Amino acid sequence: MSSFSSLRSQIYDLTERMLRPQRIPITQRCLCAPAHIGFHGGLIHSYSVDLRPSGIRLRTSCELPRVGEEFLLLLDLPHGIARAVGDVARVMENEGEFAIQFTKLDDATREQMERLIAERLA
């Protein structure tokens, strides 16, 4: 293979990795609660549908939250419990799902999620 072909192949591989969606399908237990109530008063038991660095989509049989509502999350990931805060960005009533955009992640949680996403995309 010529050096030009090799370089073109490397550029193609790098471009493919960069353009690949950073969202992974994942089914993990998740406890979430409206931030103004907290975990002691308003738990919603749910399961994750997919995860990305900026947020998560959840499925629940409980009452769905409202768009814009701030939520606390505890997500049971393979490398430990992840804690996050986020706002409900979208509600899909027919599917019993809602999406949360993260607004607060500590460094350990961000690293844990990025590691899991990188492992699944590899």
Predicted local distance difference test score (pLDDT) of residue 90: 92
pTM: 0.76
Which structural domains are found in the chain, ordered by start? Answer: 23-121 (2.40.10.220)
What residues contact residue 100 under an 8 Å CB cut-off, 6+ apart?
32, 55, 56, 57, 58, 71, 73, 84, 86, 87, 88, 89
> Is the confidence at residue 50, as pLDDT, over 70?
yes
Predicted local distance difference test score (pLDDT) of residue 89: 94
Condensed to tens digits (0 to 9), the pLDDT of residues 62-83 reads 889 999 999 999 988 887 888 9
pLDDT bucket at 119, cuts 50 / 70 / 90: confident
Mean residue pLDDT across the chain: 83
